[in-house]
Structure 1
């Protein structure tokens, strides 16, 4: 049998050849301490050191400094001793300091006894592979990050990506498309036919034509259309598409992106709505028309329902306008408001009253059924709100220049619109403009009513002036025809005196109202017994009361009641109330005056059985002229300023006056409340320190100079004074008056202010400056009777200020001086 055994080999030499030939691997032998004892060609090529350079060097030299510091070499050697191998894959270091990535193993070498006599380290340079893997990892991470950023951008922008593969009509939706159509994320996309049902019916044909154009014209399309979500709400979508073709040039797919542009469309619509509203509001003047137009401007562009509530004079919210696209629903809302007026007990924490009370706008983005149940306390009202299908709500105060006029309310229902923060800002902007328009309409209405009141007042004034002037004229004609009939002349004179007194009272009332309005009236307050004041007022009004055959009762407390007031003005207040009661009570009626005293205040009630007052007149009755109807329709006389005068005088006394009446034909009651007098300990009587007027020189016939440019007025006054026994001279201008004072040395000068050359003030100053002349008693006799006129007269040197026409009794005092 032939000898098939291998020839003997030099195994050591053969092993070295194999090791040296493995030039792609660094094979390093070390002793037990890790010092290099062998170094192959692959080690030189990979690490850079020669075998001579590394002989006896520590294996640590090929590791990075941080791995050396971490004891990585020792750990590998320990693991190799324990397990027979230690694999690693990490950075190593070449002779020039350059780092490279290597994978390798460290294995122990054992002697015949099994003890470790050294180690062999095998390395392979994997730098390029590791760099490729690192680049691939980085690229993967970059792609993932880009995809995440793209997805985030699509979500933030409300966008979605889609594709339709034309040969199979297959629809692919990427994330975002389902949400744009109100569907759950990841929902299965509809096929091309079913997608048409998601589009608003009015936009379907236009979208279908856009798809056809994309395929036929082979170019992208840009379309904006509406989609209907599963909950019924309508949203706007902007779609951009691009056509793709296959290798044969045939259309293969249409892809694109959709964007939810609902918010943009709403902003555009809201801005158009606001611009239109501003233009329309600027041209509105009619009050009710303004309110109605404000409500209808918001429907349907901004709201499905719009209600306007205005704060009334009584402090209640009155619904003055309702708008809905369906007029029948407007009537439903009015009836609903009538049955369930705003009430904090019915709706908790929201609604017009809450807006009015806080003065701040409010928004409820989502009116859930749970919210309705918690907020609305009355079941019937709750069911009606549910039937309306209310979805979202905004309430805004109508405020202008710090004054709240009312509340405007916006509600969505059918449109399913959900109000957002920017919608509240728009509503507030509209409310500001609406409030200005409402105020302008109110002001215009006030001006128009004022003009009407002024016209009625002037007509009434002419009527009231002609009434006394007619008998005066007739009486003068009678005297002219029968001057020697003494009895007839005396009767006519009495009549003329009464009619002139009526004219004087008419003018005095007008002046008092003017003084109160301008704050120029002066009260002479003192502790006044209210019983005496009322008895004085009754005496003044008694002729009217007795002429109408009314019964009159006065009920006073057992103890006297004092108030701090001007007795004359207070008597004027109660006389006006008694005259008013007498005038508007049919003959034979009853008037009761009742005084009720409290610890700090006293009430005086004047009740009658007369015509009564309508509810809307209870607060307006004290306004100037507001109760005046056209003179031709009036069956009672008067200017209608008496109650305005009452209110002003009572207010100046620190009190209040209130009108009450069950209604027309049921009588009226006026309640005056005045603070009681508080007694203060008084000091010693210092006497009357008021300046005393100059008295004319004692004479049998007082010398009086009358100065007036009204020749008839001066002549009749002079004649009347002569009839009273005075020596009278007349001057009709200022210069003549100064000369007459210097020559005639009169005791009294009755001096008009409005003279043709120099006014009465200048005449007084010149008279006071005359040298060597005994100064006369200067009395301003003028039609100007304001407080400012009296002050100017005193500053010019007048002793007294009398207002025309003067009471003959005052003239008689001059004659008797």
Structure 2
């Protein structure tokens, strides 16, 4: 058996979960010690809770002090066992002979205590009785003490369950309140606001208290309000399931912001439409960026309009979709007349010597379809009037999502040789500008005879090659040395296929960057061969598709998360699923979800996701050991550390991070009512740049996980309430049907039946109101009795009640209330309540019978007229004898002695407390 000291710390933790220490007196516990002292005939009875260095009494009778030290505690010995602990004479027992409570006041000579043991098996105290003389317990007294101790533990467990339920409700509410980057607004069917979260308050400026009950069009701009945009959104949401929009909104202070909004219908558990949910996110920065891009596009249009070179944008079919004024002037066409024309047909239809020139032989047309760039190709174009023009063309492919869409063709008129070089130089600058504007397209030309690759600056940037070296020509190895190891074989296989005779090269692969990250590219090119088939050059273009790839990966991850969350029914597993998907998608080494302990200084991680071979950090961690950023988390701010060794918040604790193989960290806080309760931790062994898109993805994972947990809690609560309501309605309807049937069967006339039925239904209603106001499925017997007699209590002192406050089930409570109503009605008509000085004595108690405890309930009328036993039993007597007794399976004795009617019922306590 463990010693007292060994059990102190776990017991303190258990006591903390009950939240009972140093609380005010409560009737439920006071009644137990009073009943224990009365039934066991002891002068002292205590509910004792054993803490680290003291024992504290939640309830006491016959003992003046509210607590003692452990050195004075006899209960500290009692909690070491599992059953009743009795010391018949404390002066003769070595454990207590020197105890100050034995040697001094109050001179305890006898002790009996029953340990209070939690469902987890931890003893936290005792229900004990003391006497100042040696004695022993009878078997009945021992049974009583054990039974009452179980009642104390039941009360404690109910208190703990209520406390944990309240904490759970607060956490669920905090999930919504912690979504501070999103405004989440609930509305009723008329569009009036019913609630909104902290994110809405931060985004729009109104506090929830001042906005609830007002129309949601308040935060739309005036023009949208006038056009009825709110009503149109609600109509679309009803018809389509959701309504998306992007528009200007306004805050409380009148300022405007561009928001991305989504409205969805809200439905209750029966799928009835009860309102709407609108989610807003501030996208002002992105909107401004799009406007800036439009301005840049307009500026580029202005630039091209004033260029002396001709610029065309062509589709893969050689159709002109853009031509600048210089192109129209060069070819002799009017403004806009070239748009939609085939460039080869209108300007490149013959050779310079007059020979026909089919488009199938045209290098410009072929390059449009293959994506092959053309550089400084000399050819002859023709004006509209047939005049030939010597030109130099440069072709930059346009490749989107890995597919060739066409090209930008720059054409310089080189008829005057003196101006040729200048025009060519400006043409190349224009092409470079077009390529550089996207920052995604890079072109190369591999000279196979010299085995060097010429590339532009964009291509060099993507492949991490010095731009000057790339422009002068660098060996292929300079470009392939940073290929991702897993993609080298695929690249080589595609290259082999090209040299084996394939028409074009197309391959997607990754380039490892200096910081350890990688970028995705798609490369396309074609071989240029000599007339004898010998490969001469391999030109092509690479497009950086990293963002598309990452977007696809993250979108797929969110879809997977939704499927995983939909199949899970445990909040811990949901949190792990979110951490796993975030860590795996972002290529991290570790992801974990942890909760803060009561002190707020420790993070408890039940389970974490790691790459194979990476050490788990499951367990308890003190935040002070890993940096000084805890205050930021408590304020609800995300903590982002690109490098733990360089960031001043973590550098002093870098050694601890190195022990966990952590170089970069992100912590996203979960707040509940303004308090930090949990954190999502993301780790990587290398430095990372936590870009906004990564943070958006992580927040999306967190928000979806929180929402799934909140939805699970709400569904569980709704299911519980629905089952309870159905159960109670069935019981109530069955009881009403029985009362009505029996009343009408025995009534002598309709008026009498109406009066009797009304009284019984009133009593039933009062008992049912009491149950609906109490705990699910049960209530205390005292309020049931008082509620049933309230109609007949015309003055004080009519009823004398005596008995412990025991919990009884809902159905026995209804039957007991109806029985008491019948007895009180008869007493008011014929018995003690018909006289001014008459009264009724009602007692109930628990009788510890051999097999099981019984509840004994008695009714005795005092001070009424002489009783005459009725010649036959009426419905009321039969109702009394059969109703409750039939419900609980006990015996009932209804007697008519001359001095007053008596009624006694005895039944198993378990039957009274059952609700089946």
User: Above 0.5 in TM-score?
Assistant: no
Q: Which has the larger radius of gyration?
A: 1
TM-score band, normalised by shorter chain: 0.3 to 0.5
The alignment's TM-score, normalised by the length of structure 1, stands at 0.38
Higher strand share: 2
